[in-house]
Amino acid sequence: MSREPLAPPASIRSYCESRGFTLRDSLIDPPFSGVLFRSRGHVEFSSVIDASNSNSPFVLAQVRNRKFTSPRVAALIIPLPRPVPNLICASTRGSLFSRLGISIHPSQRLSLEGNFNSHFTLYCPKQFAHDALYVLTPDLMAHLIDIEGVRDIEFVDDRIILYFPVRVMYANGQLDDAATLVRAVESTLRRQTELYSDSTQEAGLHKDPFRRAQLTTHQAQSRVISNTGRRIRTRATKWQRAGQILGGTAMALAAAYWVTTVASTLLP
């Protein structure tokens, strides 16, 4: 992991201008799907490098959940030729999802052969275990393991999102790593997803304008994933549960105090 200081805004702007990329300083509730984007109004992108119109398209951004004071993480978003089931590979070396207030329900764990399990914990909807094996072939798993610095990976709709500590992508001299990485993995990603089709697909889902809006291409909009495979189930993190308990306790104590005060006032 790079220990260089983060690239200053002027350096990021110069990088984008020299390559024809679009730079957005900040974006609230970006138009993406995934476990992070279910909390509407709380997701913030900054230093957004939009290379959607390049030969190897991607979006790179610093991400934080505004409900928490945790550090930002870097998200590299790469389009896929077709929608696939919602799959999450959480790093066994220290997942970043907890920093973003995300806890994945453990009932969705799926064990794979080889050494992939020593690097990532795979989660997928139960009915889509066979589909996960179709997408995550040994050569693709080897590519994912070899990505330096990546902590978490999510396949969702027609995208793959790679999560990194911010410095891995945004340190001085590191910005080109995103484009290099995309070029290195896109052929394998395309090969493993362009022929995928959900055998449980529900007729007419592509007519739903909300679901169509989550997809990036006309080809993808003609194919969607059925309800059971579209979204991984999440649950409250231990800190969120602790906050809920403390909040409930505080409300109960306040209510008891109010009742006691009113009673003492009304009774002789």
Segment 220-248, tens digit of pLDDT: 444 555 554 456 766 544 444 444 345 44
Residue 199 φ/ψ, nearest 5 degrees: -70, -15
Segment 30-77, tens digit of pLDDT: 878 888 876 666 788 999 999 999 999 999 999 887 776 567 899 999
pLDDT(117) > 50: yes
Angle, vertex CA 94, rays to CA 41 and CA 123, nearest 5: 70
Tokens of 265: 């006032």
Give dist(CA 84, CA 223) in Å, integer.
Answer: 9
Cβ pair 25, 46 in contact under 8 A: yes
pLDDT(94) > 50: yes
Give dist(CA 241, CA 84) in Å, integer.
Answer: 31
Please state, as a whole number, how many other Cβ atoms lie within 10 Å of the Cβ of residue 53: 9
| Residue 127 pLDDT grade (very low, low, confident, very high; cuts 50, 70, 90) | confident
Total residue count of the chain as it appears in this document: 268
pLDDT at 149: 92
pLDDT(109) > 50: yes
pLDDT(4) > 80: no
Segment 161-199, tens digit of pLDDT: 999 999 999 998 899 999 999 998 888 888 888 877 765
Beta-ladder partners of 74: 62, 164
pLDDT at 132: 87
* Closest by CA position to 193, among listed 79, 60, 37, 53: 79
* Closest by CA position to 216, among listed 59, 89, 105: 59
pLDDT(214) > 60: no
Give dist(CA 219, CA 83) in Å, integer.
Answer: 10
pLDDT(123) > 90: yes
Task: Name the pTM for this structure.
Answer: 0.77
